[in-house]
């Protein structure tokens, strides 16, 4: 099967306990679950509704604050307008950015499906714990880049796998049935090269920050 990211031939490996087939691309280190194990939004919503994300819980706010503390110093200019793409039910991250004086829209296909202006461009787009759910991450990546102003920042948070198939099969993160695609920093570097943008930084764990050139 061809890789969704770079179109090279991907190798397959199987979880023998569940019989789920995965594909791995050596070229960009992208891993994706066989398409018959993808889920529609209705099934994904049942999973998301189990999350207990209390916006008033200090640990939940600290989780997003860590993300912002890594991302915001990398912006080369003042961020006036932002978009939280895939904000979830609470939209807490957008609220936290608004508290710092940034005008922030938010969108989620399940909980907040309507954007005020489909043509608006942004200085910053954030997407936390979203990309692992995407059936077509390359297309979404391009779409988000097109919504950025020049020198705008796209900041993505998703857990990176360690590029070892045996470790991957023991990894807690891939056991969530709604997690269907998996990345490393190299995957995002390949995407950046494809679309003419810059991988500014990553933390080696779960955050990649991209600048539109």
pLDDT in tens, 135-153: 999 999 999 999 999 999 9
Q: Is residue 140 part of a domain?
A: yes
Mean pLDDT computed over 179-185: 97
The pLDDT score that the predictor gives to residue 89 is: 86
Whether residue 69 is contained in a domain is answered as: yes
Kindly report the length of the chain: 213
Does residue 88 lie within any of the structural domains?
A: yes
pLDDT at 37 over 90: no
What is each CA distance from 172 to 81, 157, 167, 175, 179, in whole angstroms?
A: 35, 17, 10, 5, 11
Dihedral over Cα of 19, 21, 26, 29: its sign: negative
Rounded Cα distance between 44 and 179, Å, is 10
- The answer to whether position 114 is within a domain reads yes
pLDDT band of residue 49 (cuts 50, 70, 90) is low
Domain count, the chain: 1
- Please measure the distance between the N-terminal and C-terminal CA atoms of the chain and give it in whole angstroms: 32
CA angle 39, 134, 147 (to 5 degrees): 145
- At 38 the pLDDT is 83
Q: Is pLDDT above 90 for 122?
A: yes
> How many other CB atoms sit within 10 Å of the CB of residue 86?
22
> Is the confidence at residue 39, as pLDDT, over 80?
no
Tell me the average pLDDT across 55-73. 90
- Collapsed DSSP state (helix, strand, coil) of residue 103: strand
125 belongs to a structural domain: yes
Q: What is the pLDDT of residue 33?
A: 96
Tens of pLDDT, residues 78-119? 999 999 999 988 889 999 999 999 999 999 998 889 887 888
179 in any annotated domain: no
Q: Please tell me the predicted confidence (pLDDT) of residue 53.
A: 65
Strand duo 81-85 + 103-107: pairing: parallel
Q: Is residue 144 part of a domain?
A: yes
- Is the residue at 24 inside a domain? no
Is residue 71 over pLDDT 90?
Answer: yes
Q: Give 74: exposed, middle or buried? Use CB within 10 Å, 0-12, 13-18, 19+.
A: middle
pLDDT for 56 equals 67
């Amino acid at each position: 099967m061809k890789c969704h990211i770079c179109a090279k031939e991907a190798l397959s490996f199987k979880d023998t306990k569940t019989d789920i087939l995965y594909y791995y691309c050596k070229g960009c280190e992208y891993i994706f679950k066989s398409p018959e194990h993808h889920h529609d939004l209705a099934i994904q919503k049942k999973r998301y509704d189990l999350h207990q994300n209390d916006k008033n819980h200090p640990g939940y706010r600290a989780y997003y604050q860590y993300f912002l503390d890594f991302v915001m110093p990398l912006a080369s200019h003042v961020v006036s307008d932002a978009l939280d793409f895939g904000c979830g039910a609470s939209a807490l991250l957008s609220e936290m950015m608004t508290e710092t004086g940034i005008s922030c829209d938010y969108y989620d296909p399940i909980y907040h499906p309507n954007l005020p202006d489909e043509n608006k461009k942004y200085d910053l787009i954030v997407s936390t714990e979203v990309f692992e759910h995407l059936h077509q991450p390359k297309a979404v990546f391009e779409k988000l880049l097109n919504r950025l102003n020049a020198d705008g920042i796209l900041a993505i948070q998703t857990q990176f796998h360690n590029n070892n198939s045996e470790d991957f099969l023991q990894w807690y993160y891939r056991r969530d049935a709604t997690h269907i695609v998996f990345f490393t920093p190299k995957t995002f570097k390949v995407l950046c090269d494809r679309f003419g943008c810059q991988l500014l930084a990553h933390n080696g764990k779960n955050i990649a920050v991209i600048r539109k050139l």
